[in-house]
Every structure is written in C-alpha cells, then in structure tokens.
C-alpha cells in the first residue's frame, strides 16, 4: 500500500469499537504477530476486495474455526477522500 493509500484508509482507532476489535482479534487469532503489524494488510484487504469484512481462516484461529470480522465503511465529514472502517462485530463458523 502506498503512502497516499495509508493516509486515506484507516480504522476508527480512537473509539470503543476499535478496542472491541482488538479484544476479539486477540481472543481468536493464533499468532505471535501483534495486530499493529497486520493493520495495513487488513485495511488493504478490506479496500481492494470492496467487502465489509475479512476472514480469519481456521488454520490461524485458536479454536480452528473460521472467524469473520465485520466493519462499516464511512467517509470523514471534513475529507471525503478518507475512508474509515468502524468495527461492527464478529461471527464464527
């Protein structure tokens, strides 16, 4: 992801819903890689696929189930070029 894209696509970092996303993510992901290092890849996945979710596959989850993390896509009022993803919740299959 180039620098322009990094600045125009982001999570709603300073909200309760991002804290909930972090909590849910760490509860189910089976990796030692901190979420901070995965954020750019997750955002790129959300943006390039034009989907409002990403899936954690069963091979990378603690309980060996597929987990879906859902987000709402918003534009910042002051700058319509910035897309913010707000966490909505999680589902397991």
Pairwise pLDDT comparison (62 vs 76), residue with the higher score: 62
- pLDDT > 70: what percent of the chain? 92
* pLDDT at res. 36: 92
Quick check: helix, strand or coil at residue 11?
Answer: strand
Residue pair 11/85 in contact by the 8 Å Cβ criterion:
yes
Mean pLDDT of 3-19: 80
Sign of the four-CA dihedral 13, 16, 19, 25:
negative
* pLDDT at res. 93: 84
* pLDDT at res. 76: 78
Number of Cβ within a 10 Å radius of residue 48: 11
Residue 63 pLDDT exceeds 90: yes
Tokens 């982001």 correspond to 10
């Amino acid at each position: 992801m180039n620098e322009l894209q990094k600045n125009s696509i982001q999570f709603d970092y300073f909200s309760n819903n991002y804290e909930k996303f972090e909590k849910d993510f760490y509860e189910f992901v089976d990796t030692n890689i901190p979420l901070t290092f995965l954020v750019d890849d997750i955002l790129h996945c959300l943006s390039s696929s034009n989907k409002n979710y990403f899936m954690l596959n069963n091979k990378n989850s603690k309980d060996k189930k597929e987990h879906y993390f859902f987000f709402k896509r918003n534009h910042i009022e002051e700058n319509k070029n910035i897309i913010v993803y707000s966490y909505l919740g999680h589902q397991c299959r």
